[in-house]
Structure 1
Amino acid sequence: MAKDVTILTGFLGAGKTTFLNALLGDRPQTRFALIENEFGEEGIDGGLVVRPDVDLVELSNGCLCCSLSNDLLDVLEALNDRRDSFDELIIETTGIADPASVAVPFLMLPRVLRDFHLKRVICLVDAELIEDQLRDTEEAIGQISFSDIILINKTDRVSNTYLNSLQDLLRGLNPFAHVLLGHKDNYPIRELMALERDTAGTASVATLRPVPAQPGLSPVQATTQPHSIVPFPSKHHHHAHSDLVSLSFRFAEPIDLTQIYHRLTTLLLFDGKDLYRIKGIIADPTRKERWIVQSVGRTLTLTEGADWQPGEPRITRIVFIGKRLKPAGFEKLLRHCFAKDPQKPVSRLPPTPNL
């Protein structure tokens, strides 16, 4: 059985190690393996872990997202050789790491997928500083954009009124993420660890294959319900973040999964410089299951989700997060992906690249 993996990210000073110790202390019966990644030749954070029984691996003098193809894969292989000695794996990244790059092997490499299951990406944010960090640093934006759970830390240092506005801001930036609150004396650890990535069911790396139209499966009828575009909330905050935009779309019209894969892949390759994140749940009427599409750096991945249930509305939801994004261009791109013949079998997609 694959070992569950949690990636813990957050900008410098967000409180990752303090939270990590609280998590380890709350689950004394769980045998953890821990990868500590630090930027610099001398590792410090590993010495701050309070549980001596944790299987600790320290990676210093570099950032995991920069040395991914060598160091992390070597460590994962070594951990797998002693997989009977631990139950779960936690990876604590540096404060400047890109969690999307760290997540690559868990999403795209078959040999890693066989042995490890990425269960959640947690991003800690400093309640006092995160607005300044969003304005000044691309790393903080990328960390929040890619995470499944955003934990607002140090909430005891700001007012409840400000916390409410901060939650709205972060939910607007990453509508797919769960936003939770905590501080060093009161972390919602059990609630947080009960949450999993939004894969809508069992996930696997997708090499799409032709699926014939199923008898009795009628195409999703286009409705007059308009798509929704939700701009990044800028009011009621200290900084307007005028360059940072989150665009959310919902379509009841049927989507051609092959078309959206190719168009989004092209977008990332040729015009993805300021596009931090794509994530969506796609409803293709020729397929019985929902599909989760997401960007990992400049690469697009597809994972197979749970089947659509009888009578369940098949709604496509997709979010783009980046700088200076224009809604009209993304709307036009998505409308070109509407299925023209929803009953026609789809073509095969190229396999996910081996990185």
Structure 2
Amino acid sequence: MNTLDKTPVTVLTGYLGAGKTTLLNRILSENHGKRYAVIVNEFGDVGIDNDLVVDADEEVFEMNNGCICCTVRGDLIRIIEGLMKRRNHFDAILIETTGLADPAPVAQTFFVDEDVQSKTKLDAIVTVVDAKHLLDEIDKAHEAQEQLAFADIVLLNKVDLVGEEGLGEVEKRIRRINPTAVIHRSERCQVDLDNILGRSAFDLDRVLEIEPEFLKHFHDHDHDDHVASFSLLSDAPLDPERFFPWIQSIAQNHGPDMLRMKGIIAFADDDDRFVMQGVHMLLEGDHQRPWKAGEKRTTRLVFIGRDLPRDAFEEGFRNCFVQEGVAAE
């Protein structure tokens, strides 16, 4: 199936009280002419989010089977397969996760299940952040850090409660965890929905086209976060026979702690850019487009994870070179 024919899926995540349900209700009630199927997950035996979702024509599916981290994938596959039988009834799917959720199992679903992958595409992981309370919460709540790590788009909400200097500190902290996410500020989740829906933000090709300098955000090297990020860069061409075994070993050995990986690779004797991204142990990659005339053929890899051994990654990366030359920011 052509990518354009696949049903887009947007995942809404964020820590408790950040405003996920407010955003969901905005999407469902705004006059945009689109129909959404909604999957709501709530922690515990009794869900309450379904009662908060505004009365709309969209179909709401609630999963009350405990922590999304443990049990969501099977239910999600089953529900999406059921939805696909009625795909002419809606234009896109929204998934709202519990505030205590690791978004990884949701994202992984779109890697591992062939039926889901053939009919849907993960459009974006949108993380809603409470601008007023993030700095107080983030050191105590690892979930908040991990939700930021997975984000393609961050909605920095409740900005009316924080001064400009404070917002700068919040954005700096977000960037330390996730340098590649697009950040939008909002009050009560009032944001142009075109900024968060239908963005193809999970599509690495689009990310790199829109933000070709996304690694420029890497300037802060404090490592007191539970989740942190770093980049590896090289102007030297890479040997695919060395690179692929190395990156697969990274995913296998460090997958549980490697939350996201994004990169563009310049292989020796290859006129096309190779793009990759990963979620935990799952990697995907393909040739994208030819390198343009005069375009600098630089390999750029971003790793976001829990206490990843940067020195070991750098050493393995250097071993992939056809010739020496590396820069790490």
TM-score (normalised: structure 2): 0.85
User: Where do 1:79-228 residues align within 5 Å?
Assistant: 79-184=83-188, 186-193=190-197, 195-197=199-201, 199-201=203-205
Q: 1:334 aligns with which of 313, 317, 322?
A: 317
2:63 aligned with 1:59, yes or no?
Answer: yes
SS in 2 for 1:314: coil
Residue matched to 2:54:
50
Does the 8 A contact of 1:171 with 1:179 survive in 2?
no
Total equivalences in the alignment: 312
2:47 aligned with 1:7, yes or no?
Answer: no
Structure 1 stretch displaced more, 78-87 or 274-283: 274-283
Does the 8 A contact of 2:261 with 2:301 survive in 1?
yes
Instruction: Give the structure with the higher percent helix.
Output: 2
Superposed displacement of residue 272, structure 1: 4.7
Does the 8 A contact of 2:8 with 2:198 survive in 1?
no
- Structure 2 CA distance for aligned equivalents of residues 284 and 23 of structure 1: 42
| CA gap 1:128/1:339 in 2 versus in 1, 3 angstroms | same
Does the 8 A contact of 1:134 with 1:241 survive in 2?
no
Residue matched to 1:241:
224
Deviation string for 1:43-71 (max 9, x for gaps)? 21112111420111111122333224421
- Structure 2 CA distance for aligned equivalents of residues 192 and 296 of structure 1: 21
**Counterpart residue identity of residue 247, structure 1:** F
**Counterpart residue identity of residue 132, structure 2:** E
Structure 1 stretch displaced more, 296-305 or 49-58: 296-305
**Counterpart residue identity of residue 14, structure 1:** A
Tell me, which stretches of 5 or more residues in structure 2 are unaligned? 208-214, 324-329
Superposed displacement of residue 286, structure 1: 4.1
Superposed displacement of residue 266, structure 1: 1.7
**Counterpart residue identity of residue 139, structure 2:** R
**Counterpart residue identity of residue 123, structure 1:** T
- Structure 1 CA distance for aligned equivalents of residues 152 and 295 of structure 2: 24
SS in 1 for 2:70: coil
Does the 8 A contact of 1:169 with 1:232 survive in 2?
no
Q: 2:242 aligns with which of 249, 255, 259?
A: 259
**Counterpart residue identity of residue 22, structure 2:** T
SS in 1 for 2:33: coil
| CA gap 1:289/1:97 in 2 versus in 1, 3 angstroms | farther
TM-score (normalised: structure 1): 0.79
Residue matched to 1:39:
43
Give RMSD over aligned pairs: 2.7
Superposed displacement of residue 109, structure 1: 2.7
- Structure 2 CA distance for aligned equivalents of residues 198 and 232 of structure 1: 25
Tell me, which stretches of 5 or more residues in structure 1 are unaligned? 204-226, 235-239, 341-355
- Structure 2 CA distance for aligned equivalents of residues 185 and 150 of structure 1: 11
| CA gap 1:312/1:158 in 2 versus in 1, 3 angstroms | same
- Structure 2 CA distance for aligned equivalents of residues 202 and 171 of structure 1: 20
- Structure 2 CA distance for aligned equivalents of residues 146 and 161 of structure 1: 26
Q: Give the fraction of aligned pairs with identical amino acids, expressed as a percent.
A: 35
- Structure 1 CA distance for aligned equivalents of residues 52 and 286 of structure 2: 37
Q: 1:313 aligns with which of 275, 296, 301?
A: 296
- Structure 2 CA distance for aligned equivalents of residues 56 and 48 of structure 1: 11
- Structure 1 CA distance for aligned equivalents of residues 297 and 279 of structure 2: 25
Structure 1 stretch displaced more, 150-159 or 330-339: 330-339
| CA gap 1:306/1:112 in 2 versus in 1, 3 angstroms | farther
Does the 8 A contact of 2:160 with 2:187 survive in 1?
yes
| CA gap 1:153/1:303 in 2 versus in 1, 3 angstroms | farther
| CA gap 1:128/1:191 in 2 versus in 1, 3 angstroms | same
Does the 8 A contact of 2:104 with 2:259 survive in 1?
no
